[in-house]
Structure 1
Amino acid sequence: MNAEFNLNIALNSNTAISAATIMGSSDQHVLIMDTVNDVIGALGEGDNRGGSSSYNKLIYTVVPLLVIAIPLVLAFLYLRQKQHRIYAPRTFLNTLEDANREKTPKPAYGMFNWISAFVKLPDQFVLNHQTLDNYLFIRYFRMLTYICLVGTIITWVFLLRVNYNGGGGQSELDMFTFSNVSDPNKFYWHAGCAWVFLSFVMFVITRETLYYINLRQAYLTTPRNATRISTRVVLFTGVPEDMRHERWIKADFFGVKRVWLATDCTELESLVSTMNDTAISLEESEIKLSTIATKKHLKGEKHFADDPERAGTATQQWIAPKERPSKRIALVGRKQDAIDMYREQLKTTIPKVEALQKRHVQGYEKLLPAAFVEFETQRAAQLAYSDPFWRQPGKMEAACIGLASPNEIIWPNLAMGKPERWTRTIIANTIVVLLIVFWSVPVGLVGSLADIENLAQNFPPLGFVNKLPSSTKGAISGLLPTILISAILALVPIICRFIARKAGSITLAQVELRTQGWYFAFQVVQVFLITTFSSGASKVAKEIWDGPAQTPKLLADNLPTASTFYLSFFILQGIAVTASTIFQIAPFLIFNIVSPFLDTTPRRKFERFVTLTGLSWGDTYPKFTLFAVIAISYSCIAPLVLGFAMLGIYFLYLAFRYNVFYVLTMAVDTKGDAYGRALQHLSVGIYLAEICLIGLMTAQGGEGPAKLMLILLILTVIYQTYLNMILAPLTNTLSDELMAENEEEALAHANDQGATVPIDVDGDGVQPKQAGPYFENKTANAVAAHFKRGGLFAPFLFNGSKSKYPALRRQLWDAFPGQPAPEIPEETLKHAYHHPAITAKPPTLWIVRDELGVSAQEIKETKKVIEISDEGARFNEKGKIEWDEDDLRQAPIWKPRVEY
């Protein structure tokens, strides 16, 4: 009894886990979780050893999903005509830079007539108007769709008939799987298709990696990017104490333009935070004061102008002292006038901040072992960054290049030395491995609720559950574990990011890339492998227990039938998740329900309105890469999976394509690195497919086909090792020769236009002075070889005969022909890579203008302490706050974005 009970728990818990994982891909999918109950009912009902119920499972999955998805899509088509801020903010927000042409052309606002404009807009539009990351993200979906389409054609043409006529005794959809083939000689068909399709997948990975390298080179060396200061700045960490001075670092290199030394800003950060919090509290109190006066005026209450004791300012005439905003002092418990208290606090805090900022700029505070070094040219910076000299023990390390903003840096981690960072990295990787291995324990406990009836029978305290109505028990066994598991699974990327920060990651991009690798490993192990094993093997675990000798045959018969779950998986992604993605449930709720209640000041309204959301690559890529891994892994075992995957991924491509064009911005800039890693992760699907086929063929006596698959596995390992050895270095650096060519052309453009561009065509003068003969001989040659390496792929790289680089370069240069980045004021450049706390200014307060003169009086008093304005915000006839949404750049708190 115990064994059977545990088996049921395992099967049903796993189903709940899988469904929850699907739904947990984004917070905005919460509203369609009710569908999971139907999915679980379709997938988790007892599997029948004597027959298959796969048709019913698909029907029971599709119907409720369509019931949810169709209204969401119709709602999107209707609402996008009216709620432009939610569904098309990139078409009108004038905070987007016109110089960069960041806006997307406005489509028609009818229900359907916008579709033609959307279809005609090429994917390359994103490349010229947004970021490399966003463009590569939608290209990733298109590539996955292409892989699945080709795989569908190959496997459906050859394998569906072989499987269907295999004579294995399976029924319904299981007849189209590997388990329905009884003759081992027919496995040669599977081996042949695997050789063709898996080789094709590796070909696509290679082609896309070459494309990515060429595109990255062309994109980052356009005049628009090459003249940005961020392309010329290298962050060095582990700077020895005796080197932490600007003149010593300049003496260590030739061609250095500026140096910013990192300082310990712990105390300053705290002071700046206090200053900002106090300023915002003062702003809110000032608005509350005007609101009180305005509401009294609208109610027709008499003011105190005729009262001799109350004559004075407009504030005094309308508001009694006891009505003014107050703040209770901690511990003492005595209330104090909030506005007066905050003004006094700012009078003391602001001078302290300014004095401490000055000390940091002058270098009087503690220096960290890190320095930002600006070189004269992009080429010089790249040579310094890629120089092997800085990889030697005891030397400071070139940690990163291309930081577009000081806000991308995790400043506390700059204090770490190499040994501490290595130690933390080892500990972090160990923790993540343990997390992946043991995560199934809490998930399994929660997932056991999926078999609540068996739990109630075996645990008397839960006996009352069996007395509940069937609908209630269905909710407990289906919806409750799904919601709980979704919450648990949502913690995984959060935990990974936390660990990545603690491990010593220096930038937000590094955090995302580490999270991407860890979370993908989690997805493969916990979501795919454990789900596959439980879905297929657990239903025959009792037979294995009774007869261990039958294990290979039983697993070979039943593992392929687990593919039925993934058919439903891709239906769910293609229908429900796509619908919820394009409808954007979370933004819809925020702007229509949350914002009216929480955004009670002009500042909050403005920030909510102008802040666009972005995708977090660390948890976005792994989820969708897993889809491809599943499809590739099952391609020759259950070919139907590829067809369903193709449709599901294509619908997701359309949804994300729309959002990238019209809604999303960049959250973290990895300069395409996240795409490069996702390409490498795809190879996991190839290896899993090969290993599974070897195991299944061997278990069924197909030794010949299994040997063919083993040969393919060995060749795959050899090829990918060679591929990574040759191409991996080129994904991190730029070609010196091509940068020299670009500098010459940029100089010609600049001369034609009468502009000046910093050029150093020779590329000399960036070598460390102390390197001596070692650098001149070995290191210089190593650097040259590094950039010229291409091996068998040389014809497809850069100026090779078959390379796409010239066309990509021409396309990108035509978008911004010879146009350098906008100039940045010299005073701003002086502090470009100082800690943000060093350059922080007291925020400008933005209050609401009233007709009574209260706001004007408060501005007069508060301006003595901090900048304040009531421009662009007012009370309407109902006393509600309104602000000017038409000209966002006129808002007092708007600041132009600086492109470093």
Structure 2
Amino acid sequence: MSTIFTEDSYDYSALTSSYMGIFYSQKFEQFLKTTQTGYAHSTSGIEFSFLFKTVFTSLCLCTIQLTFFCFFRSIFKYIYQPRCYCVPVKERMEPLPRGFLSWIAPIMQTSIYFYLSMGLDAYFFIRFISILLLYFIFIGSMNMIVLIPINYTGSDASYSAVGLDRLSLSNIASSNVRRLNAHFILGLVTIALFHWMLLYELQSFVAIRQSYLLSARHKDSIQARVLLISNVPTHLQDIEVLNEIFGVIPGGIRTIWFLYEFDKIECDVERAKKALEVLEISQIKYLNNYIKRNIRRSCFSCFSSDNDKLDDLIEELHVSRFEFQESSEPMFYPPIYVESIRIPKLERRIQITLPGLLRILIFQRKVSMVKWAVEALATKLEEIDAQKRQLVEGKALMYKKVFIEFNTQTGAYIAHQCLLSQNQGSVDSSLIEVNPQDILWHNLSRNNSYACLVEKYVVTIVFISIMILYVVPVSFIGLVSQIPLLVHLMPFLSWIYRFPEEARETISSFLPSILLTILTEIVMVTFRFLTYFKGKLTGSELEIDFSKWYFAFLFVQQFLVVTISSSITVIFKQIVDQPTSIPVLLATNLPKAATFFFQFFALKAFAFCGANFMRIDQLILHHSLYPLKDVTPRQKFRRLTTLPKIKWGTVYPVYSVYACIGIAYSIISPLISLFIIFILSLVLLYYKYSLKFIYSHINVSETQGRLYPLALLHLYTGVYCLECCIIGIFFLSKSEDGNSPMRLQGWFMVVVLLTTIFGHITIYNRYSKHFSYLPILTDKKFKDESIVQEHKSKMGQSKVTQSPEEGKDNENYSQHQLLYVHPAFQFENPKVWLPVDPLGIAERQILRIEEMMPGLQGGVTKGATVTFGKSYRQIKVRISEAPPDYK
């Protein structure tokens, strides 16, 4: 018999069916009644051949995708290497060699210090994956070399595990129970090495972050010296008063920005931009229609692409261009702007814009795109100018927030760490390192009322409810892996039986994983949307809060629910009923789920690698939707130069969970380390490539590396699972005579668990202040640390590009004064941008528009040109420069 004694499971089906009763149906009753057994137990004892079949299928799909990537990489450069072509010349990367596999070596040789140029979040993520990879290579090699032979030979004549479970702790029979001493010793080594890694990385984080923030490049930037203060009462909203209050801060104050009411001007600016877009689209359509009409008249469709024939066409169109009447101008249904809806208690405003096609329902006719756009633009520009004048004259409504720029970084941090007022609820909240492009203005404009506080806690309750009720859609997805039951419930799917058995098995194993991935993505988007309503003032603060909840969700659903029970309510109930049963719960469930995670990580690795490198979505959109959507030069320029951005609050938790699973199984089933190493290697390769050649180098929601220590501390979750599981195994292990020879080791592991908890609290308290603050005193010993000097020199060697917020000191005074004012107040009269065409129609139309609206002076055709398709019936726009009003 096995060394682990397992008691009969409790039946919690009534508990889960209580909140699923709304789905009353006898047909669905079978799968909506959730059992206690985790889904991962179904893979317990699978043979290597089955695992190989699953992995091989995934490998084939991944190989096909990577092959296409290697082939297309040098062809579709704007998709696979946009940072080499779609950014300013000074910020471009050198293109990779054109060879089929010649891109791999340069990527792997790229120093980790290069990614400091993309901010601390990017750098520390590459470091996070790298350090995890080294950790699992070391402990994985050690544990696999020692424990796999012990596990494999741990069975006897009376008991032997089956399949891949023979390589795990589950294969040790009662007669060989003392072999668990090896697991005990290596468990201590694994935990000790984790703490060494953690302390080393936290110390390195503090040194690197502080040397980065104290560097001349950052210290002298405005962002480093600006403090956002909330709950500023009316009597303090005065520049002289604030200068007097903060005069005690070393260095004093340089600039003060008050927060003004911006809802109206923001709405007007958005509508003005929409009107400009409609105006430019109308001119492109006018040009296209003009050419089409005249081609039909001259029967030019039969001509070839000969240059002489093209010249003939241009000459003929020049003659007839003035015959094209204004009646030929494009018409459309203008958008319907609904009056904004204000929710007073929550201090939120809802702005709704309905599609213009709805005007058909009320029998309205189309209107001229040009006339509507010019009239709308003229009206909105007047209203915008009026609101700007109100701001200059001091008549704009002010909110209870203020931005204060200090003369020194030290002064800003001192003010940030001070209690600014003795009155409760007054000047009691501050935020530093605020990027003006990262501000969540609609959250910033709200006061800290009780309604806002209630909204915050309601969102928290919704988060918890989603985590609990996640079992409902998972139950439906579970049907896909049970084809007979699925067909029984939905007879019209009986055609599935026409496929060969191998194909049905592939469908039943792959489809649930795909659907669960989609479902997880939906939850992620929902969490991110709801996090906004927790009142965070900047995107960086939102990323930090989101990462905590997303980690909790992923850990519960991708680990606990899968391994222990298919319902989180079952886990909670058992913990509440018997808190001391946690080790037993883990010891009786985790070993049975080990082989499931072999498949899980193999499928994740191949799916991640193939899909992300291939970028099939962008490849399809580039050749289908984008050519139809990008009508004007401005639209095309915006799409080409808007590089994808990474939301680091989404990325860090995913790999923290993977590492937690790897740590939890590092002793139970050491083969897991092989799969962890594999997926981390592919992830490192992809992100080193994509961060350098695909993603934008500017991260407006930069947290200054604060997500990294959070991700490191999340790894404690995996350590606790490992320790509790080992404790349960040691106390449950029985020898042939019924004794518990590992009880002493079990008590020792209890001491280790308590020590780990104490160490966790101590380490957090020691380093937590360094996550957000900077030291005023830096002794010589700290300054002379080799690690700080090393990273400073590496930062100097890497290609560092100055972000917009850190280059504002060099701009003129007026721009500086508007830096922390809502972007709508910085809106200037736009300039029409049309492409150069052989007929000169664009120039003539620009002059006509400027006559209709003097406020649109300065329209140009420079930087964009028109080219003709093969039949000269469709024009194409090519761009070579930025728009005339681009900033």
Range of TM-score over shorter length: 0.7 to 0.9
- Asked whether 1:892 is paired with 2:884, we answer yes
Kept in 2, the 8 Å contact 1:512–1:616? The answer is yes
Could you say which residue in structure 2 is the equivalent of 1:465?
494
Could you say which residue in structure 2 is the equivalent of 1:708?
748
Kept in 2, the 8 Å contact 1:452–1:476? The answer is no
1:271 to 252, 268, 286: 268
Kept in 2, the 8 Å contact 1:262–1:369? The answer is yes
- Asked whether 1:282 is paired with 2:271, we answer no
What amino acid is aligned across from residue 242 of structure 1 in structure 2?
H
Matches within 5 A, 1:282-681: 282-301=279-298, 317-328=322-333, 330=359, 331=362, 333-389=364-420, 393-417=424-448, 421-457=452-488, 459=489, 462=491, 465=494, 468-470=497-499, 477=508, 481-534=512-565, 556=587, 559-665=590-696, 666-667=698-699, 668-681=701-714
Q: Deviations over 1:64-90 (max 9, x none)?
A: 112111122222222122222222222
1:649 Cα offset (Å): 0.8
Q: Distance in 1 between matches of 2:366 and 2:585?
A: 76
What amino acid is aligned across from residue 147 of structure 1 in structure 2?
Y
1:818 Cα offset (Å): 15
Could you say which residue in structure 2 is the equivalent of 1:775?
none
What amino acid is aligned across from residue 324 of structure 1 in structure 2?
E
1:709 Cα offset (Å): 1.6
- Asked whether 1:65 is paired with 2:105, we answer no
1:811 Cα offset (Å): 3.5
Q: Deviations over 1:236-282 (max 9, x none)?
A: 11111221222222222121111110012111111111111111111
RMSD over aligned Cα, in angstroms?
Answer: 3.6
Q: Distance in 2 between matches of 1:378 and 1:435?
A: 42
Could you say which residue in structure 2 is the equivalent of 1:258?
255
Give the SS at the match of 1:236. Answer: strand
Give the SS at the match of 1:876. Answer: strand
Q: Which runs of 5+ in 1 are unaligned?
A: 19-42, 304-311, 538-549, 739-787, 789-793, 896-900
Is the deviation greater in 655-664 or in 849-858? 849-858
Do the aligned partners of residues 14 and 55 (structure 1) sit closer, same or farther apart at CA in structure 2, a change above 3 Å counting?
Answer: farther
1:5 Cα offset (Å): 11
1:804 to 787, 790, 811: 787
Q: Distance in 2 between matches of 1:235 and 1:249?
A: 13
Do the aligned partners of residues 435 and 160 (structure 1) sit closer, same or farther apart at CA in structure 2, a change above 3 Å counting?
Answer: same
Could you say which residue in structure 1 is the equivalent of 2:719?
686
Do the aligned partners of residues 483 and 627 (structure 1) sit closer, same or farther apart at CA in structure 2, a change above 3 Å counting?
Answer: closer
Matches within 5 A, 1:112-191: 112-127=101-116, 129-167=117-155, 168-182=159-173, 183-191=176-184
Kept in 2, the 8 Å contact 1:369–1:417? The answer is no
Do the aligned partners of residues 601 and 205 (structure 1) sit closer, same or farther apart at CA in structure 2, a change above 3 Å counting?
Answer: same
Q: Distance in 1 between matches of 2:297 and 2:320?
A: 16
Q: Deviations over 1:470-501 (max 9, x none)?
A: 46976875566555443332121222222221
Do the aligned partners of residues 445 and 833 (structure 1) sit closer, same or farther apart at CA in structure 2, a change above 3 Å counting?
Answer: same
Do the aligned partners of residues 653 and 150 (structure 1) sit closer, same or farther apart at CA in structure 2, a change above 3 Å counting?
Answer: same
What amino acid is aligned across from residue 151 of structure 1 in structure 2?
I
Q: Distance in 2 between matches of 1:420 and 1:270?
A: 25
Q: Provide TM-score, normalisation by structure 2.
A: 0.81
Q: Provide TM-score, normalisation by structure 1.
A: 0.80
Q: Which runs of 5+ in 2 are unaligned?
A: 1-11, 14-25, 301-316, 335-358, 569-580, 734-739
1:404 Cα offset (Å): 2.5
- Asked whether 1:696 is paired with 2:701, we answer no
Could you say which residue in structure 2 is the equivalent of 1:79?
72
Do the aligned partners of residues 412 and 868 (structure 1) sit closer, same or farther apart at CA in structure 2, a change above 3 Å counting?
Answer: farther
Kept in 2, the 8 Å contact 1:286–1:858? The answer is yes
1:55 Cα offset (Å): 0.6
1:861 to 836, 848, 861: 848
1:835 to 808, 811, 822: 822
1:585 Cα offset (Å): 2.4
Q: Distance in 2 between matches of 1:818 and 1:492?
A: 35
Displacement over 6 Å in runs of 4+: 2-8, 10-15, 312-316, 472-476, 550-555, 816-820
Could you say which residue in structure 2 is the equivalent of 1:221?
214
Kept in 1, the 8 Å contact 2:107–2:688? The answer is no
Q: Deviations over 1:325-372 (max 9, x none)?
A: 123475561333221222122222211111112213443122111000
Could you say which residue in structure 2 is the equivalent of 1:201?
194
Do the aligned partners of residues 217 and 318 (structure 1) sit closer, same or farther apart at CA in structure 2, a change above 3 Å counting?
Answer: farther
1:519 Cα offset (Å): 0.6
2:866 to 869, 875, 892: 875
What amino acid is aligned across from residue 528 of structure 1 in structure 2?
F
Q: Distance in 1 between matches of 2:728 and 2:692?
A: 45
Kept in 1, the 8 Å contact 2:564–2:585? The answer is no
Matches within 5 A, 1:17-36: none
- Asked whether 1:245 is paired with 2:273, we answer no
1:159 Cα offset (Å): 1.5
Q: Distance in 1 between matches of 2:519 and 2:391?
A: 43
Q: Distance in 1 between matches of 2:435 and 2:43?
A: 55
Q: Distance in 2 between matches of 1:875 and 1:141?
A: 47
What amino acid is aligned across from residue 81 of structure 1 in structure 2?
S
Q: Distance in 1 between matches of 2:416 and 2:648?
A: 25
Q: Distance in 2 between matches of 1:362 and 1:149?
A: 65
Is the deviation greater in 520-529 or in 270-279? 270-279
Kept in 1, the 8 Å contact 2:551–2:657? The answer is yes
Do the aligned partners of residues 138 and 8 (structure 1) sit closer, same or farther apart at CA in structure 2, a change above 3 Å counting?
Answer: farther
1:121 Cα offset (Å): 2.3
Percent of aligned positions that are identical: 23
Q: Distance in 2 between matches of 1:378 and 1:554?
A: 52
Do the aligned partners of residues 617 and 302 (structure 1) sit closer, same or farther apart at CA in structure 2, a change above 3 Å counting?
Answer: same
Q: Distance in 2 between matches of 1:6 and 1:561?
A: 27
What amino acid is aligned across from residue 379 of structure 1 in structure 2?
T
Could you say which residue in structure 2 is the equivalent of 1:105?
94
Q: Distance in 1 between matches of 2:110 and 2:526?
A: 38
Give the SS at the match of 2:821. Answer: coil
What amino acid is aligned across from residue 836 of structure 1 in structure 2?
P
Give the SS at the match of 2:624. Answer: helix
Q: Deviations over 1:797-830 (max 9, x none)?
A: x337x56223323443566999995612211101
What amino acid is aligned across from residue 223 of structure 2 in structure 1?
S
Kept in 2, the 8 Å contact 1:314–1:852? The answer is no
2:85 to 92, 95, 100: 92
1:528 Cα offset (Å): 0.9
Do the aligned partners of residues 13 and 853 (structure 1) sit closer, same or farther apart at CA in structure 2, a change above 3 Å counting?
Answer: farther
Give the SS at the match of 1:370. Answer: strand
Could you say which residue in structure 2 is the equivalent of 1:717?
757
1:139 Cα offset (Å): 1.3
1:402 Cα offset (Å): 1.7
Kept in 2, the 8 Å contact 1:582–1:655? The answer is yes
Is the deviation greater in 393-402 or in 281-290? 393-402
Q: Distance in 2 between matches of 1:253 and 1:263?
A: 22
Q: Distance in 2 between matches of 1:267 and 1:315?
A: 46
Is the deviation greater in 415-424 or in 263-272? 415-424
Q: Distance in 1 between matches of 2:86 and 2:637?
A: 12
1:109 Cα offset (Å): 2.0
Q: Distance in 2 between matches of 1:529 and 1:468?
A: 34
Do the aligned partners of residues 146 and 394 (structure 1) sit closer, same or farther apart at CA in structure 2, a change above 3 Å counting?
Answer: same
